[in-house]
Structure formats: C-alpha cells, structure tokens
Amino acid sequence: METARGAAQAERAANQVACLRFLADADEARTVGVLSEATGLSRPTVHAVLDDLVDAGLVEPTSPATAGPGRPARAFRFAREAGLVAAVDLGPRGARAIICDLSGTRVAYAELPTTTPADLTLIPQALQAAAGTALELGRLRAVGVGLPGVVEGDGRLRASLAMPGLVGLPVGELLEKELGVPVVVDNDIKLAALAEQRAGAGLGYSDVVYLQIGHRLSVSIVLNGVIRQGRHRLAGELGAQRGMRWTRNAQRGQLVWSARPTGAEVLTAAAAGDPGAQAELQDFCTQIAPRIATVLLVVDPEVVVVRGGPAADSSALLRPLAAAVENELVFPERPPFVAATLGREAVVLGAVGNAFDRMKSAIYGIQDVPSPWNRITHEVERTTQ
C-alpha cells in the first residue's frame, strides 16, 4: 500500500513539474489542450495538475483564450512574479546583487561599492538597492551568497585572506535571521565556475576547470556538473599549500605585475601589441604552467575556462598559456583553453543559480523543478571584464 501511494505521489509530482516547466518557458498563457499535447498527459490529468498549481500560487487562470459561440478554452500562465530569488556577490570592495522572478528572469540588478571594509550589512543593503521602490523584498523565497574564502557547508566562513573580519561567522545563519528566508552560501570562485559550466563558456561540458586571473590566481573544478568541494571543502585551494607561490614575485597570494598595474591591463596591452606586456604575460604563463598541468592530470577535464580580463583580449593570454601547459605534458591529449563569457557577473549569477538548485522546495513547493539557468544568464553582457 505504501509503495503504491509513494509511486502515485511521485507520478503526480512529475506531472506537476512537466506542466510547470512548459508554462515557465512559455511567453503567454496556454490552454489545457496545448498543455496536454506538449506534455503527453491526458486532459483530465492536466486539469487536476493545474488545480494543484493554482492552489500553490504558481499558476493562475487568465481570460478565455477564445471568443465566440461555445465554451471558451481555459488558459493558464505561470505566475512568475509571485516570488523572487536573489543573490549577492560580496567582496572587500563592495557587493553585486541580482533579483530574479520565479522563471529565473532578471528583474533587478545593482552594484554597491564601499570605501570602508565590507561586512554582512552590505548584503541587505545591496538587495534593497537592487529592489528600489519597484520590488517588495517580502516576496523573497531564497537568497544565494558568494564570499571569497573557504566556506563550510553550513555557511560559516572558515578562512579568507580577502575578508578576514568575517572569518568564523555563521554567515548563512545570520543572514537567514536577517532576511527571513533560506540562504545558500558558497565560495565566489566556485560559484563563478558553476555559472560558466551551466550557461557560459563551459556549457555542454560536464567536467570543467575554471581558472581566474585577477588580484589573485584561483582555481575551481566542476565534475559531472557539480562543484567539486572535497571532504573539507578545500578542492582547488592551491594557495593553502605552504610555500606555494604562483609566480616569483607574488606577495601573500597577490599577483604583482610590472608592465601595467593589473593583470587585466597587462592583457589589454599585450593584445594591443606592447612587447613588454607580451613578454611579461609569456613569463607569467610559463611560471604557472606546472601547477595548471598538475591539476589537469589529476582531473582530466573536458575544457579549461579562463577569465583574465576583457574577452576581446583573451587570445593574448590563451595562446601562451595553452602552449606553456602543453610543454609540461607528455601525453598529446589535453583540453581546450577557452575564454570565460560571463564576465564580472559570473559569481552573482552562480550564486542565484545555486540558490535555485539547492532550494527548489522552498522556492516552488515542488521537488525537482529544473533550475532556470538559461534565463538567469540570458541578459548578461558577455564582453565585460
């Protein structure tokens, strides 16, 4: 009896997901007949499912789809505005916030810089800056957060060179009390890697190594479409090895450049043909190649996604980097090196997608609703740094 009841509940949930997914992808209301044809479900089953979804506040009936004699067809639309899912990328220089509706469509975005050391108060401030007067944050159903450092599974920041003032704080717990909704916290680079794998340069690949060259050099790994955390959530934290320096002149993990103040500026100068910048970039790639090669031999990924500056200048980095790594490898098989496409929004996009992934029940009240990654990244300016 219990087995039969469980099977019936699973079938009912699957039917709900099928109808909700179809309506979420649609740009307008759909009739029961269209839903039945699209999902392969009988009309009575669709009617029953829609009643459940209307009761849950996820679907609403609209005006009759047809006019004239006879009984008009009932039409239904996904009530995407019924709830909001948001995310914040918090760093030492400020915060980025994004707010999406239940379909994953971006409805608000804001960047909130700070001249003082950033703390957790910047997160609700960034959300409010994004919401403005047009959105009611009381409709929030889940929030994702990206932080620089080692983040425990319960949302506690275990270690961070960039934001030492937050180390030891139960960030997830504190924010849940502040915001009144479930909060998912993870490392910023891991979230950027997830976003690139799900909807960026790594789309279509299951195993991705993400390399970010900014003020620091960071590595994150996605295996089988899932962030590789490791037993102690230290996967990819190569800088935690004693005495490890990516380059000869790195200072406490910070990359130091000679030709220009930042790596992005060096990259732009190299792409423009500056000999000094090209030489420094070549030397940089030669220095980091052994570490990158080691990661590739351990993981054997399908692709390496690299973010180092403006996408238009990426070939000036990818060519010498791929060549330097190739010189470190014996076997001819090696993954392609491609430029990241999500730019500076990658972390906050990964954070909101992660919230959809991990908080589906809280967001929809239904299990196994696919996360709307395609909509989340649809409006990204893919040439940003």
Tell me how crowded residue 304 is: count the other CB atoms within 10 A of its CB.
Answer: 25
pLDDT for residue 246: 82
pLDDT for residue 52: 92
- pLDDT reading at 305 higher than 90: yes
CA-CA distance, 265 to 28, in Å (whole number)? 46
Q: What is the pLDDT of residues 347-377, one digit of tens each?
A: 999 999 999 999 999 999 888 889 999 899 8
212 & 328 share domain: yes
- pLDDT reading at 240 higher than 80: no
CA-CA distance, 29 to 74, in Å (whole number)? 9
Average pLDDT score over residue span 115-119: 89
Return the percentage of the chain with pLDDT > 70, whole number: 94
pLDDT for residue 243: 66
Q: Residue 273 sits in a domain of what CATH number? A: 3.30.420.40
In a domain, 169, yes or no: yes
Tell me how far apart the terminal alpha carbons of the chain are, to the nearest angstrom: 58
- pLDDT reading at 5 higher than 70: no
Into how many domains does the chain fold?
3
330 & 289 share domain: yes
Q: Residue 7 sits in a domain of what CATH number? A: 1.10.10.10
Q: What is the pLDDT of residues 72-92, one digit of tens each?
A: 677 999 999 999 999 999 999
- pLDDT reading at 228 higher than 50: yes
Per the structure block, which two tokens stand in for 33?
Answer: 């007949």
Identify the domain containing residue 336 by its residue range. Answer: 202-340
How does the average pLDDT of the chain come out, rounded?
A: 91
Contact 271, 313 (CB under 8 A): yes
pLDDT for residue 382: 47
Q: In the chain, count of helices (H) and strands (E)?
A: 12, 15
**249 pLDDT band (50/70/90 cuts)?**
confident
pLDDT for residue 22: 92
Helix (H) or strand (E) segment spanning residue 152? none
Burial class (CB in 10 A: 0-12, 13-18, 19+), 206: middle
pLDDT for residue 377: 83
**28 pLDDT band (50/70/90 cuts)?**
confident
335 & 348 share domain: no
**108 pLDDT band (50/70/90 cuts)?**
very high
87 & 186 share domain: yes
- pLDDT reading at 4 higher than 80: no
CA-CA distance, 228 to 247, in Å (whole number)? 25
Contact 185, 339 (CB under 8 A): no
97 & 61 share domain: no
| Listed residue (85, 117, 120) closest to 101, CA to CA | 85
Per the structure block, which two tokens stand in for 13?
Answer: 């949930």
pLDDT for residue 250: 78
- State whether residue 288 is helix, strand or coil: helix
What is the CB-side half-sphere exposure of residue 135 using CA atoms within 13 A? 24
- pLDDT reading at 286 higher than 90: yes
pLDDT for residue 219: 94
331 & 353 share domain: no
CA-CA distance, 310 to 306, in Å (whole number)? 11
Q: Of 5-14, 31-40, 363-372, which range is least confident? A: 5-14
58 & 177 share domain: no
| Listed residue (324, 320, 336) closest to 281, CA to CA | 320
DSSP code per residue over 185-211: EEEHHHHHHHHHHHHSTTTT-SSEEEE
More confident: 32 or 367: 32
pLDDT for residue 332: 87
Q: Look at residues 35, 60, 78 and tell me which one is the last residue of a structural domain.
A: 78
pLDDT for residue 329: 93
Q: What is the pLDDT of residues 42-68, one digit of tens each?
A: 999 999 999 999 999 999 998 655 555
In a domain, 384, yes or no: no
Q: Of 19-33, 81-95, 141-155, 296-310, which range is least confident? A: 19-33
331 & 261 share domain: yes
256 & 272 share domain: yes
- What separation in angstroms does the CA of 315 have from each of 33, 113, 301? 51, 30, 20
329 & 295 share domain: yes
- pLDDT reading at 71 higher than 70: no
Contact 380, 342 (CB under 8 A): yes
In a domain, 381, yes or no: no
In a domain, 255, yes or no: yes
41 & 7 share domain: yes
Q: Look at residues 78, 97, 117 and tell me which one is the last residue of a structural domain.
A: 78
335 & 349 share domain: no
- pLDDT reading at 385 higher than 60: no
CA-CA distance, 334 to 293, in Å (whole number)? 10
Q: Look at residues 18, 52, 78 and tell me which one is the last residue of a structural domain.
A: 78
- pLDDT reading at 379 higher than 90: no
Average pLDDT score over residue span 183-211: 97
| Prediction pTM value | 0.92
